[in-house]
Structure 1
Amino acid sequence: MSRLEKGDAVFATTTIVNDGSVPGYPEQHVFAEAGSMGMLVNTGHLEEDPNQEVLLVAFTDAAGNPALVTCLPDEVSGEPVATH
């Protein structure tokens, strides 16, 4: 992935669902379908594995609700994603 910066548009490469780690949303809640655009809010690393980069992305779900979601680098792209 090319180096992304805060504020960059990113696109979900897969359907992103709540794995139970986002409070206030039911497990399996869909935050973004593949191809959906979000905005990169911040980057960081897992405390348990400093080599694992994580990305904090703001998505708006199908109901229009905004949510901050932690994604792995392979779950988003800086380029639009074909969804066919």
Structure 2
Amino acid sequence: MEDYKYDIGELVYAAENILNDGGMPGIDVEEGLIAPAGMRGMIIQYGRAEADETQHVYLVRFENGPDGALGDPVGCLPEELTQEQAVPV
């Protein structure tokens, strides 16, 4: 796994709100929330950005809904992900 932070199948959490930048169909850009901070997801693929091959990109399927079903794949940057589960306050 070269120098990637996460591997396929690993559990991650959204480190911040993951917002639609206009590239994800079916989600209104104005509302734009794909996954709120702390939402659990799974890495399904990783690679490098075509425009900047030094930038890692992870495809993550976040849970959406009460049954824990995984949503559509979302491209995330490493800094948007964490393996630290948020502690409720």
Aligning the two structures, in what range does the TM-score lie when normalised by the shorter sequence? 0.7 to 0.9
- 4+ aligned runs moved over 2 Å, structure 1: 60-65, 81-84
Q: Which residue of 2 aligns with 1:57?
A: 60
- Please list every run of 5 or more consecutive structure 1 residues that lacks an aligned counterpart in the other structure: none
- Following superposition, the deviation at residue 65 of structure 1 comes to 7.1
Which is higher, the Rg of structure 1 or of structure 2? 2
Which piece of structure 1 moves more, 5-14 or 29-38? 29-38
1:4 correspondence with 2:1: no
Structure of higher RCO (CA pairs closer than 8 Å, 6+ residues apart)? 1
Aligned partners of 1:41 and 1:57 also within 8 Å: yes
In 1, the alpha carbon distance for the partners of 2:23 and 2:14 equals 18
Find out whether 1:70 has 2:75 as its counterpart. yes
Q: CA RMSD in A?
A: 2.2
Per-residue deviation, 1:62? 5.3
Report the count of equivalent residues.
Answer: 83
1:24-56 per-residue CA deviation (whole Å, 9 max, x = no partner) reads 221143221111100001101111110000010
Could you tell me which of 40, 45, 48 is aligned with 2:43? 40
TM-score when normalising by structure 2: 0.78
Percent of counterpart pairs with the same letter?
Answer: 34
- Alignment gaps of 5+ in structure 2: none
